[in-house]
A and B are shown apart, each in its own frame.
Chain A
Amino acid sequence: MLTLTSPVRTWAHGVRAWVKLGALCLWTVALLRIDGVWLAGAVVLVLALAASGGRVFLAQWLAMLRPLWPFAVLITLWQLWLGAPLGAWPIIARLGAAVGLANAVTMTTELAEIITLLTRLARPLARLGLNPKVLGLSVALVLRFVPVMLLRYDQIALAFRARSPRRPGWRILMPVLLAALDDADRVAEALRARGGAG
């Protein structure tokens, strides 16, 4: 799941969020323009960066890349079928290097810091009636709701399996959503209890 910030503190935790996000931005754009040795170098660089956080950090970083595996396998198979297996390499390398650095930024940046940055970027929107403080709060709420909703899904899936031999799948989408809607109402109250959003 969403690993927000790594519990292992690295040197990169100390780097300003806007520097890291800016670098990530340049990095992803640059990746699209490089090839061959340069691309290989980029992959090595990302690996080295992740490794600089230590063993635990590296393991966590690798775990976060796991969702990309099926993607990599399918691209390889696709390219094999086309008769150009080497064509898979640049696609996978770019993907891995881009997501890898993005994950590393995520793992080394406190959410509060990203929020501060976003709030600053959104300041011009205040004139359109969008309160930048609310933006920061809503970002935090989304990140809070994702694990809560997944937990709900697991709970309801378990309850389903305890009473049915079938796989839960789509059948429990509705109960999960209704429970989440009720949760959102309660959270709105909790927010009100602590001074509200305004």
Chain B
Amino acid sequence: MAGSGIELRGVGYSVAGKAILTGIDLHLTESRIGIVGRNGSGKTSLLRVMAGLVAPSVGTVTVAGKDPARDRRAMLAQVGILFQNPDHQILFPTVGEELAFGLTQMGQSAKAARMAARALLANEGRAHWESAATHTLSQGQRQYLCLLAILAMQPATLLLDEPFAALDLPSQARLRRKLAGLGQQIITISHDPEAVADCDRVIWLEGGRVAMDGPAGPVLAAFTGEMARIGGLDADADLAS
């Protein structure tokens, strides 16, 4: 295959003249990758660029050798995205429709998609969810639904934006176990080092640039050190003023 994984070359992204990402060069082939950074460091923006939801302002992005912003059809089987806020992801009023949609988008008949969605829910022990209204689910449940909707499409790579943020501890553990058992490449975004500690590779974003990139151990050690330093600085600044 011409070019595997996700590759970014000299990528910059700006909105209304404001640079949000600058000079990003990454070739993502490892099976578990973490992206960490402070609030506003550009993690979500990077994910949107990688997935082809927005085109970069400069540079090129390829996913499995294709331009993700142009070749949307091909991307369905390539990348699945779990958005930070499930309310921005759920398109349909009922759970069954939400799950079936992606499958019909991939060319399945409405009936086959419906059956597949039903089977998926039954497999998760949540058959009773099928006709439940999506807005009556809790935040954590809605996020879980979003994950199911993506997994149903069996993309080669999963992009997860703060997947643990809305979950209580047991749900976090359950999600972690579920993700660990998946064969796909998984790229997890988090501001919490804990969430990406098991990754093969961790990328630390700061101010829209890659601050550090490498094995989880050293990158996370440097990241937590810096975060503690900044936290301390703010406290000092507050005291001084």
Contacts and interface: CB of A to CB of B under 8 A. Distances in A.
B57 interface: no
A112 B153 CA distance: 20
Nearest to B149: A194
B178 to A, nearest CB: 20
A35 interface: no
Contacts of A5: 94, 131, 133
A194 B93 contact: no
Interface residues on A, range: 20 to 34
Interface in B109-159: 110, 114, 131-135, 149, 153
A4 B91 contact: no
A154 to B, nearest CB: 12
A189 B53 CA distance: 6
A140 B132 contact: no
Contacts of A111: 92-94, 97
Contacts of A60: none
A195 B106 contact: yes
Contact of A140 (B88, B97, B149): B97
Interface stretch (A42-50, A73-81, A143-151): A143-151
Interface stretch (B79-87, B186-194, B210-218): B79-87
A145 to B, nearest CB: 9
A143 B134 CA distance: 11
A191 B73 contact: no
A190 B88 contact: yes
A19 interface: no
B101 interface: yes
Interface of A: 3-5, 7, 110-112, 116, 137, 140-141, 143-144, 147-148, 151, 183, 186-187, 189-196
Which 3 pairs show the lowest CB-CB distances between chains A and B? A195-B105, A186-B88, A147-B135
